[in-house]
Amino acid sequence: MESRFIQIHKDKDYKFEKIICLVPSLTETIFDFNAGDRLIAATKFCIHPQKELSCIEKVGGTKTLDLEKIVRLKPDLVIANKEENTQKEIEYISQFFPVWLTDIKDLNDLSLFFEDLGIILNQREIASDYQQFIKEVEAKKFESLDKNVAYLIWRKPYMSVGKDTYIHQMIGLMGLQSVTGNQVRYPEIHLDELISHSLDFLFLSSEPYPFKEKHILELQKFFPQTEIRLVDGEMFSWYGSRIKKAIPYFEKLYSQCK
């Protein structure tokens, strides 16, 4: 059975009415594109918008999908992501149904995604609005703060973010320099290495590891001169329509970091 990964063509008329989305931030985006009624299932981590998703079928986690259930639901399109989902599971699904495999690492990727989503959902005006918003963000760049930061996404072991991640791009967007920007993906990092960078800021993300105030106290003794902050991981990592909420959040955070 052949795989059915699709490429979006601008001049094609798509009629996808039974969509399964396997990416939390893109599930939210589908609703913001006024197409939530086409969504027949999502993952258990697809939590926004909460009320609307409460009555939609769940098909496991982003990396532990209920493949039998997906096959049983017979979608006419499955939306996945190269980073969020596992290659083996997505290749399996693609034998049965068309799969749109997204890969979003920066604002340019995000703009192209909006364009393609607008074509798929026949919501080109909404897509154009989001693309214009990105252009405005790029034109109104945050001035560099000339300060460095480490962004932690995990504990035991501590893990940060590399240069090929969306989070890294968002850190740079708000005028900060990531000290792990010379690495890739999500590297493990030791406290001794972070201490050597004389950090200005240490950001503890709310996801995937749910850092709390107690972790600030735990780390402050190692970084007595560093400002340690809890940050909203969704704002930094949820590519998609969340960008419109993320920018005001970054503006506020930026002013606090000056």
Kindly state whether residue 9 falls inside one of the protein's structural domains.
no
- Report the pLDDT value the prediction gives residue 140, as an integer from 0 to 100: 84
Average pLDDT for 25-44: 98
- Report the pLDDT value the prediction gives residue 141, as an integer from 0 to 100: 81
Average pLDDT for 154-178: 95
Kindly state whether residue 42 falls inside one of the protein's structural domains.
yes
Kindly state whether residue 128 falls inside one of the protein's structural domains.
no
Q: Which two tokens stand for residue 66?
A: 């209920």
- Report the pLDDT value the prediction gives residue 104, as an integer from 0 to 100: 96
92 plus 186 within the same structural domain: no
Residue 24 pLDDT > 70: yes
Kindly state whether residue 163 falls inside one of the protein's structural domains.
yes
Fill in the amino acid letter for 15. Answer: K
Whole-number Å distance between alpha carbons of 70 and 47:
19
90 plus 176 within the same structural domain: no
87 plus 157 within the same structural domain: no
What is the CATH number for 195?
Answer: 3.40.50.1980
Q: Which two tokens stand for residue 187?
A: 């590297």
- pLDDT one-digit tens code per residue, 197-215: 999 999 999 999 999 999 9
Average pLDDT, the chain: 95
Which ranges in the chain belong to alpha helices (H)? 24-32, 50-53, 67-73, 87-93, 107-121, 124-139, 166-173, 191-195, 213-220, 233-237, 243-257
pTM of the full structure: 0.94
The per-residue DSSP string of 191-237 comes to HHHHHTT--SEEEEESSSS---HHHHHHHHTT-TTSEEEEE-HHHHH
State which of 76, 103, 130 marks the end of a domain: 103
* Cα-based distances in Å from 166 to 104, 116, 172, 258: 7, 19, 10, 23
Instruction: Write phi, then psi, for 28 (nearest 5 degrees).
Output: -60, -40
25 plus 81 within the same structural domain: yes
Kindly state whether residue 89 falls inside one of the protein's structural domains.
yes
99 plus 153 within the same structural domain: no
Task: Grade residue 43 by pLDDT with cuts at 50, 70 and 90.
Answer: very high
Residue with token string 């399996």: 92
State which of 86, 103, 120 marks the end of a domain: 103
Task: Grade residue 4 by pLDDT with cuts at 50, 70 and 90.
Answer: confident
Kindly state whether residue 202 falls inside one of the protein's structural domains.
yes
91 plus 34 within the same structural domain: yes
- Contact residues for 63 (Cβ-Cβ < 8 A; gap 6+): 84, 85, 86, 89
* Cα-based distances in Å from 99 to 7, 12, 76, 118, 229: 9, 16, 9, 16, 38
237 plus 174 within the same structural domain: yes
Kindly state whether residue 174 falls inside one of the protein's structural domains.
yes
Q: Is the distance from CB of 41 to CB of 74 less than 8 angstroms?
A: no
179 plus 242 within the same structural domain: yes
Which domain, by its residues, includes 172?
Answer: 148-257
**pLDDT > 70 in the chain, percent:** 99
Residue with token string 């962004």: 151
Kindly state whether residue 78 falls inside one of the protein's structural domains.
yes
Whole-number Å distance between alpha carbons of 168 and 86:
22
Residue 67 pLDDT > 90: yes
Residue 2 pLDDT > 60: no
83 plus 184 within the same structural domain: no
Average pLDDT for 82-110: 96
- Report the pLDDT value the prediction gives residue 258, as an integer from 0 to 100: 85
- DSSP bridge partners of 201: 149, 227
242 plus 163 within the same structural domain: yes
* Strand-by-strand arrangement of the 227-231 sheet: 177-178, 148-152, 201-205, 227-231
- Report the pLDDT value the prediction gives residue 42, as an integer from 0 to 100: 98
Task: Grade residue 227 by pLDDT with cuts at 50, 70 and 90.
Answer: very high
The number of folded domains in the chain is 2
